[in-house]
Amino acid sequence: MVDNGHNQPTQGEVPEDANEHCPGTQSEAAGKSDACKGCPNQEVCATAPKGPDPDLVAIAERMATVKHKILVLSGKGGVGKSTFSAQLSFALAGMGLQVGLLDIDICGPSIPKMLGLEGQDIHQSSLGWSPIYLESNLGVMSVGFMLPHPDEAVIWRGPRKNGLIKQFLKDVDWGELDYLVVDAPPGTSDEHISIAQYLLATGVDGAVVVTTPQEVALADVRKEISFCRKVGIRVLGVVENMSGLRQPLAGFRFVRPGDGADVTDWAMDYIRERAPELLALEGCAEVFAASRGGALGMCRDMHVPFLGKVPLDPQLCRAAEEGRSCFEDQRCAASAPAIREIVEKLLAAGDATQ
């Protein structure tokens, strides 16, 4: 345990949900002191090895060939974090950069589906585990590739999750990468503590936090930002996803009030005959109420960068379901430009740190 002059552990050694007077995860008393009773981390702390982790040297050596490392976090599930991680990786690879996408959402690995890689198997060589390559410059690693069936439940305790994350970092042969994008599970759990501990020593650019506009999501994002500050990870910025529904008028389905009968064909014929210029317009609607200014207002209050808004685009949802890039054609006309603008801001932030 690091002594800060007051016989208390440094913040980086104390889990987010620890009890008051936590002795620190590296203390010999971890999981055994009176202060540990009832703590959700007690079993993990009591059984985890203490002192310097010898695997950190192996992780540092493996990560030495990775120029930039970006964590993608969210306070809640269901905000589109994995969709953003996948499309961020597609965008970076589309710029000719060497990209790795690491999925550490152990219990809910959705990255294989979002990149159209379901059913692939991991191969091992003398250099370590080989990523699954979607393109020559986009490699992917996920626990989803290790499951016998995509519907298989992963029921693991913290130490086993941490062990797999460590293996992903020290045993995967990423080669020379410009960017490693890490898709983390929602919240501030064991996986987050582990990835922060393992990557901080190797140099991590920071974290992108994904949210939706409503306050119920932003409340958890504030905790995520607090977590990043406590463990020493820079917040690169916040993305407001699903920021209002937006799609061309021709993409809407029309129903009759009352009985819900589908009258799309009639409505579209009517528009084509009477007002065809309307077909060039996009329909917009606020799906989630941003009662306190949404993500932008939160960023101002917490003094973190706001990266931008991505509209709720049905075409982006289809791209994620089909495992393809939203940049490959013009179908994601509402969301692709917004994501590209966010990616450009991240690239500029990365250049500024060099």
Whether residue 75 is annotated as binding a ligand: the answer is: yes
50 is in an annotated binding site: no
> Do residues 17 and 37 touch, judged by C-beta distance below 8 A?
no
Asked whether 228 and 204 are in contact (CB, 8 A), the reply is no
Is 39 labelled a binding residue?
A: yes
141 beta partners: 102
Known binding residue 96? Answer is no
Question: Is 107 labelled a binding residue?
Answer: no
22 appears as a binding residue in the annotation: yes
In single-letter form, the type of residue at position 196 comes to A
Q: Is there a binding annotation on residue 36?
A: yes
Q: Are 168 and 160 in contact (CB under 8 A)?
A: no
Beta-carbon-side half-sphere exposure of residue 352 (alpha carbons within 13 Å): 8
284 is in an annotated binding site: no
Q: Is 80 annotated as a binding residue?
A: yes
**Six-digit token string for 120:** 């692939």
106 neighbors 168 (Cβ within 8 angstroms): no
Cα gap 185→109, rounded to integer Å: 9
Residue 115 CA: distances (Å) to CA of 86, 120, 121, 149: 7, 11, 14, 17
Q: Distance between CA atoms of 173 and 296, rounded to whole angstroms?
A: 39
Residue ranges of the annotated binding site are 22, 36, 39, 45, 75-82
Residue ranges of the annotated binding site for [4Fe-4S] cluster are 22, 36, 39, 45
Residue ranges of the annotated binding site for ATP are 75-82
